[in-house]
């Protein structure tokens, strides 16, 4: 018998049963075994499925309430055993669900440590006692899903904590001080919502009503994680309850929130108030009476509810990296979700799947679902297949705690338990606060139109504050007078804040500081030194040598050895640098510390190097300033298959072919005194979540270079939400500055519709570049200049004095005072030719200065930079330019595929050394022209040129080779390397060099795609401003609904036809 018990893992009580002194018959022991086994099945069932019977819905009075089950999925018709057991609870138990119906309710069974409760010291339980305990633990106001977790230690940790105390006490608080703290938070939360609805009845507030327990829960998480070593929280949430979270968690003054609702002054930020982010430093006092400081940041988000999740995770990852948080316990992500969006939005499982990937893990995220039990107007039955809205979290082994939102103490305990789990195991955890939405989706919406019965229940349902007050009142903690006194005090405070918000008067300089003119007068004040992108030959040689070194213990693949030899040949000869080699050199040079010396000189070129070609280039048409010290730059390159490269070009890691030794990372072994690290990360097969992650990563440190590479540029459309809402619009909407680089392999190679186009047209449509005017000359630019002049004219006498400028510069509070004096001197030098003898600045002089600044700084003023580099040197410079400029802008780089291995697409080392730079426009024969040394056909003079073809990317090489083969001498090619912002200042003078030539735009893409629709109006504006009256001819594929055809032969025929048409080869044949 003892052997049988052991085999079944059932422990016997040696004091009660002994095989040496049998007192009962064999049948008696057999029955005990049978019933004990069933009791163990009962325990397991409650642990696995008790959440199905938990009293989670605040609007349901009992388990079998029709409202509770009416929206369940069809396949849930057969209720689980625990549901059957508790169907008529507490009136009766259906013990037949576990074959226990013939068991005496008073009979006790020894279960030893199978149940962790301390309520029974001898381990003996009757069936009723056991069910009462299990129900209060797993099927009361809290339900837990954790049996899906594969890690035994994690499951045991949860069991020990939820069963280790008597069930009914587990989800409550014992200290009166804790209860009062929760009550005060709940009251302020309730009153904040009521106050905003009263004062702004016609505004969209997206109130928290129905889930007021969220705020005490957030404080519970904050207190727990701070106690366990957390120093920072990165937070993301949707709009519901945001105003309340801002005030009662982030401590944002209510007067400031009310002022946002007044909208007394138009804001420079371009988003609604319930999308904006914030940050705060909070002091948290723990149970040990120690104060701990926690920095909390709330990310701005769009109305795409869950899109912010991976952005927050990326920000968290970056902060962990830069503070050296190897354990990932110091910075914690906290994400708030809605029930419909958590189960419905694909970005949720995409983000969850990043949670345990080595290059993306942040040591777990805490997820809180505000479970309204409704979408906008859609019931759960129509919104998801699963019973709970949180099923997607099971896929990554995250424990899920469901809790009744009206039980505020249970919410706080669950939130603390979830926070402790995250800090202990570094895994995701979910808290599902099952609540309701007292009003519609917003305060203007009437939800009773579609959910009349539900909202009749809600109207009669007491608030969470009322429920909790009655609980405290019945236990003697609070009285009615106490409630009225606390409530009156809070309400008086709110009224005073509202009055203050009415008296808010913005200062004109506050507007100027956020306007582009603020950047103009403080243009050299930045934490990012503005250095040239050309690099000293010695540095290029050092990095290049590291990129050709292979440790002797690594036996490399034959193709890698061929690559290494080609790199060494390029280093020795100074010629033949490929795209991939130039990329690696750009990375390596950024990763080394930059210290200027006498050879480096000034930022610009010397006087004899200032050729006519460069006269209008923004890189040189600025003040010469001494090059500045620049720290080494951390680089993160992420995407699908980026370590090797989709096109077998990068090989960031070198793998030994004969062993399983770790790969060798050449760029992390540059053999220099100080170097930063590079992280090259193969990602999951996700675009949206990974791109958003990298965007978030880029926000945390402007001195790091963050890059996302699509496997093919075509696949970026899977992340269109991220591109539209964050990358393109983030600066305008939320003042978020990012230098993220998107590498989108693009080019027509005959690989079909989904492997040809990075959809240039979509990115260009997102660029806020005016097609009808030159920068600084539009009517709205003039209006802003007028307002800027008025803001600086403090004396209102029609001129700006030196003292006025100094006063304005002083308002840039993050600028050291010594830099202000330097910039003031530079400004007066720039303005000396515009002012009168006293040094004052007239309105005309102010306009002239700013028009010049706008032309030179069009990139600073726009939201995106779109380039299509056609040479390795150009690619080298545009990557380095992302760091070596005084502002951050996202860069969309349409990188090559065919160009990666095209023999002619190479550069010389001289095109990457000191004095070289990214050429926005490349003319034939100029220094940026990588073909200038290999021309075999002499072109006619500029005056005799008959045709100018403007193009971007690899089509240049097709045109060049075809022209050389045909011997055409009267057609010149202009490469537009930077498409947006449009280089009016360079392209206009370039076209004027060819007065008799026709102008052609040539592209590989169909006419309704590619850059044509962007180029045409801007090129016409350039011609108009330069006094040129000409038409622009389009040469490319005809309009199409699909980017490319699917046949290689047809592709070749189309490509030949457009090249011949561009070069007029058919005309030559006919002649």
H/E element, 720: helix 720-722
Give the residue-averaged pLDDT of 625-645.
Answer: 85
Per-residue pLDDT of 399-440, as tens digits, reads 999 999 999 999 999 999 999 999 999 999 999 999 999 988
Other beta carbons less than 10 A from residue 341's beta carbon = 21
The more confident residue out of 675 and 75 is 675
Give the residue-averaged pLDDT of 356-371.
Answer: 97
DSSP character string of 224-254: HHHHTT--EEEEE--STTHHHHHHHTS---H
Alpha carbons 240 and 336: distance in angstroms, whole number = 10
pLDDT of the residue at 795: 80
pLDDT of the residue at 8: 47
pLDDT band at 549 (very low <50, low <70, confident <90, very high): very high
Q: Is the pLDDT of residue 170 over 90?
A: no
Q: Is the pLDDT of residue 20 over 50?
A: no
- For residue 716, give the DSSP letter: G
Which ranges in 139-175 belong to alpha helices (H)? 152-163, 167-170
What are the residues whose beta carbons fall under 8 Å from the beta carbon of 21, sequence distance 6 or more? none
Q: What is the 3-state secondary structure (H, E, C) of 86-134?
A: CCCCCCCCCHHHHCCCCCCCCCEEECHHHCCCCCCCCCEEEHHHHHHHH
- For residue 433, give the DSSP letter: E
pLDDT of the residue at 18: 41
Please answer whether residues 73 and 385 qualify as being in contact, where contact means their C-beta atoms are separated by less than 8 angstroms: yes
| Count, residues in the chain | 1071
Alpha carbons 258 and 269: distance in angstroms, whole number = 17
φ, ψ at 108 (rounded to 5°): -105, 150
Per-residue pLDDT of 1035-1066, as tens digits, reads 999 999 999 999 999 999 999 999 999 999 87
Give the residue-averaged pLDDT of 698-719.
Answer: 93
- For residue 141, give the DSSP letter: S
Give the residue-averaged pLDDT of 517-526.
Answer: 54
pLDDT of the residue at 507: 55
% of residues, the chain, pLDDT over 90: 60
Give the residue-averaged pLDDT of 907-925.
Answer: 93
**pLDDT-wise least confident of 295-299, 374-378, 538-542, 961-965:** 374-378
H/E element, 180: helix 176-199
**pLDDT-wise least confident of 126-140, 820-834, 951-965:** 820-834
**pLDDT-wise least confident of 73-82, 140-149, 493-502, 945-954:** 73-82
Mean pLDDT taken over the chain: 86
pLDDT band at 267 (very low <50, low <70, confident <90, very high): low
Token pair, residue 999, equals 């102008």
- For residue 904, give the DSSP letter: T
Q: Which residue has the tokens 């004062």?
A: 199
DSSP character string of 920-931: SEEETTSTT-TT
pLDDT band at 614 (very low <50, low <70, confident <90, very high): very low
Alpha carbons 573 and 1020: distance in angstroms, whole number = 43
Alpha carbons 735 and 732: distance in angstroms, whole number = 6
Alpha carbons 959 and 948: distance in angstroms, whole number = 12
pLDDT of the residue at 1023: 94
Alpha carbons 616 and 992: distance in angstroms, whole number = 14
Other beta carbons less than 10 A from residue 433's beta carbon = 28
**What is each CA distance from 1003 to 650, 710, 742, 956, 1054, in whole angstroms?**
27, 22, 21, 9, 12
**pLDDT-wise least confident of 142-151, 199-208, 337-346, 773-782:** 773-782
Q: Which residue has the tokens 């490509």?
A: 1055
Of 574, 590, 669, nearest to 636 by C-alpha is 590
Cα dihedral: 68, 72, 74, 75 (round 10): -100
The more confident residue out of 26 and 608 is 26
pLDDT of the residue at 898: 92
Per-residue pLDDT of 826-841, as tens digits, reads 666 666 655 545 667 8
Please answer whether residues 90 and 139 qualify as being in contact, where contact means their C-beta atoms are separated by less than 8 angstroms: no
Provide, for the chain, the percentages of residues in helix, strand and coil under a 3-state DSSP scheme, each rounded to the nearest 5. 45, 10, 45
Q: Is the pLDDT of residue 790 over 60?
A: yes
pLDDT band at 991 (very low <50, low <70, confident <90, very high): very high
Per-residue pLDDT of 21-61, as tens digits, reads 445 555 667 777 888 889 999 999 999 999 999 999 998 85
The more confident residue out of 259 and 913 is 913
Give the residue-averaged pLDDT of 233-251.
Answer: 93
The more confident residue out of 349 and 531 is 349
Please answer whether residues 805 and 521 qualify as being in contact, where contact means their C-beta atoms are separated by less than 8 angstroms: yes
pLDDT of the residue at 666: 96
pLDDT band at 264 (very low <50, low <70, confident <90, very high): low
φ, ψ at 566 (rounded to 5°): -65, -35
DSSP character string of 466-515: HHHHHHHHHTTS--HHHHHHHHHHHHHHHHHHHHHHHT----HHHHHHHS
Please answer whether residues 16 and 23 qualify as being in contact, where contact means their C-beta atoms are separated by less than 8 angstroms: no
pLDDT of the residue at 87: 86
Radius of gyration over every alpha carbon of the chain, rounded to an integer in angstroms? 34
Cα dihedral: 542, 544, 550, 556 (round 10): 180
Please answer whether residues 341 and 371 qualify as being in contact, where contact means their C-beta atoms are separated by less than 8 angstroms: no
- For residue 715, give the DSSP letter: G
pLDDT of the residue at 290: 84
981 prior amide bond cis, ω within 30: yes
pLDDT of the residue at 5: 47
Burial 120-150 (b: 16+ CB within 10 A, else e): beebebbbebbbbbbbbbbbbbbbbbbebbe
Highest mean pLDDT among 254-258, 440-444, 649-653: 649-653
pLDDT of the residue at 265: 60
Per-residue pLDDT of 284-335, as tens digits, reads 987 777 899 999 999 999 988 899 999 999 999 999 999 999 999 999 999 9
Q: Residue 98 half-sphere exposure, CB side, CA atoms within 13 Å?
A: 26
pLDDT of the residue at 518: 60
90 prior amide bond cis, ω within 30: yes
């Amino acid at each position: 018998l003892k052997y049988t018990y052991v085999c079944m893992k059932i422990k016997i009580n040696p004091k009660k049963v002994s095989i040496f002194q049998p007192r009962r018959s064999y049948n008696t022991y057999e029955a005990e075994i049978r019933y004990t086994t069933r009791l163990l099945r009962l325990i397991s069932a409650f642990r696995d499925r008790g959440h199905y019977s938990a009293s989670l819905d605040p609007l349901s009075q009992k388990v079998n309430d029709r409202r509770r089950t009416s929206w369940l999925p069809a396949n849930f018709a057969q209720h689980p055993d625990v549901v059957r057991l508790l169907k008529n609870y507490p009136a009766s138990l259906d013990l037949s669900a576990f074959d226990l119906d013939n068991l005496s309710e008073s009979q006790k069974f020894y279960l030893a440590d199978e149940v962790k409760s301390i309520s029974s010291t001898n381990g003996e339980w009757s069936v009723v006692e056991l069910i009462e305990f299990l129900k209060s633990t797993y099927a009361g106001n809290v339900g837990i899903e954790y049996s899906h977790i594969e890690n035994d230690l994690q499951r045991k940790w949860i069991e020990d904590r939820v069963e280790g105390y008597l069930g009914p006490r587990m989800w409550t608080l014992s200290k009166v001080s804790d209860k009062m703290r929760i009550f005060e938070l709940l009251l302020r939360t309730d009153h904040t919502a009521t106050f905003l609805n009263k004062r702004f009845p016609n505004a969209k507030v997206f109130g928290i009503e129905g889930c007021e327990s969220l705020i005490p829960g957030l404080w519970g998480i904050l207190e727990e994680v701070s106690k366990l070593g957390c120093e920072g929280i990165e937070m993301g949430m949707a709009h519901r309850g945001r105003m309340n979270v801002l005030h009662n968690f982030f401590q944002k003054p209510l007067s400031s929130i009310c002022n946002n609702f007044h909208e007394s002054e138009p804001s420079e930020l371009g988003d609604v108030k319930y999308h904006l982010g914030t940050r705060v430093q909070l002091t948290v006092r723990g149970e040990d009476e120690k104060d701990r400081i926690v920095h909390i940041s709330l990310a701005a988000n769009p109305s795409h509810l869950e899109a912010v999740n991976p952005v927050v995770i990326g920000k968290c990852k970056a902060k962990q990296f830069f503070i050296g948080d190897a354990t990932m316990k110091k910075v914690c992500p906290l994400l708030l979700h809605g029930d419909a969006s958590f189960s419905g939005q694909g970005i949720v499982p995409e983000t969850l799947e990043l949670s345990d990937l080595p290059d993306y893990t942040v040591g777990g995220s805490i997820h809180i679902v505000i479970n309204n039990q409704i979408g906008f107007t859609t019931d759960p039955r129509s919104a998801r297949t699963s019973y709970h809205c949180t099923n997607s979290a099971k896929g990554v082994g995250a424990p899920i705690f469901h809790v009744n939102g009206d039980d505020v103490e249970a919410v706080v305990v669950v939130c603390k338990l979830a926070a402790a789990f995250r800090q202990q195991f570094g895994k995701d955890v979910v808290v599902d606060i099952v609540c309701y939405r007292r009003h519609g989706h917003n305060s203007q919406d009437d939800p009773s139109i579609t959910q009349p019965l539900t909202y009749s229940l809600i109207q009669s349902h007491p608030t969470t504050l009322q429920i909790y007050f009655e609980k405290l009142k019945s236990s003697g903690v609070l009285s009615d007078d106490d409630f009225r006194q606390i409530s009156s005090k809070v309400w008086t405070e709110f009224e005073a804040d509202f009055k203050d918000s009415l008296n808010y008067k913005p200062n004109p300089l506050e507007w100027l500081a956020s306007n582009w003119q603020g950047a103009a007068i403080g243009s050299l004040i930045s934490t990012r030194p503005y250095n040239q992108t050309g690099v000293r030959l010695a540095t290029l040689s050092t990095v290049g040598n590291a990129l050709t070194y292979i440790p002797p213990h690594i036996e490399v693949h034959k193709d890698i050895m061929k690559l290494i030899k080609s790199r060494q040949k390029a280093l020795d000869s100074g010629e033949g640098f490929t795209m991939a080699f130039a990329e690696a050199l750009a990375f390596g040079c950024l990763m080394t510390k930059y210290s200027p010396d006498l050879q480096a000189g000034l930022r610009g070129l010397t006087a004899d190097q200032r050729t006519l070609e460069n006269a209008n280039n923004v890189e040189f048409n600025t003040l010469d300033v001494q090059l500045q010290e620049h720290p080494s730059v951390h680089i993160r390159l992420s995407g699908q298959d980026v370590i090797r490269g989709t096109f077998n070009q990068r090989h960031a890691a070198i793998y030994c072919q004969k062993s399983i030794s770790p790969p060798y990372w050449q760029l992390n072994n540059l053999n220099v005194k100080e170097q930063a690290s590079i992280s090259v990360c193969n990602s999951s097969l996700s675009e949206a979540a990974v791109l958003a992650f990298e965007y978030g990563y880029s926000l945390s440190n402007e001195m790091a270079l963050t890059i996302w590479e699509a496997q093919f540029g075509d696949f970026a459309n899977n992340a269109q939400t991220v591109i539209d809402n964050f990358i393109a619009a983030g600066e305008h909407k939320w003042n978020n500055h990012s230098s993220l680089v998107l590498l989108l392999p693009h080019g027509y190679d005959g690989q079909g519709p989904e492997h040809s186009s990075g959809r240039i047209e979509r990115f260009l449509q997102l660029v806020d570049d005016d097609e009808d005017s030159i920068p600084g000359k539009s009517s709205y630019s003039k209006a802003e200049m007028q307002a800027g002049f008025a803001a600086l004219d403090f004396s209102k006498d029609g001129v700006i004095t030196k003292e006025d400028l100094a006063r304005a510069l002083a308002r840039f509070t993050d600028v050291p005072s010594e830099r202000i004096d330097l910039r003031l001197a530079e400004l007066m030098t720039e303005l000396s030719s515009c002012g009168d003898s006293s040094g004052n600045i007239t309105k005309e002089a102010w306009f002239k200065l700013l028009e010049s600044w706008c032309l030179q700084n069009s990139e600073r003023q726009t939201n995106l930079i779109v380039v299509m580099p056609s040479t390795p040197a150009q690619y080298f410079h545009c990557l380095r330019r992302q760091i070596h400029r005084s502002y951050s802008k996202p860069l969309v780089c349409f990188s090559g595929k065919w160009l990666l291995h095209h023999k002619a697409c190479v550069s010389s080392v001289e095109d990457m050394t000191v004095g070289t730079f990214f050429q926005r426009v490349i003319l034939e024969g100029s220094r940026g022209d990588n073909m200038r040394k290999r021309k075999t056909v002499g072109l006619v003079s500029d005056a005799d040129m008959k045709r100018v073809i403007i193009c971007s990317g690899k089509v240049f090489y097709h045109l060049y080779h075809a022209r050389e083969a045909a011997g055409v001498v009267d057609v010149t090619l202009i490469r537009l390397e930077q498409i947006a912002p449009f280089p009016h200042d360079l392209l206009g003078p370039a076209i004027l060099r060819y007065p008799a030539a026709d102008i052609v735009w040539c592209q590989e893409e169909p006419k309704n795609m590619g850059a044509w629709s962007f180029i045409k109006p801007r090129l016409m504006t350039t011609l108009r401003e330069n006094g040129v009256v000409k038409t622009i001819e389009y040469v490319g594929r005809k309009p199409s609904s699909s980017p490319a055809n699917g046949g290689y032969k047809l592709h070749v025929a189309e490509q030949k036809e457009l090249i011949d048409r561009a070069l007029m080869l058919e005309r030559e044949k006919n002649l």
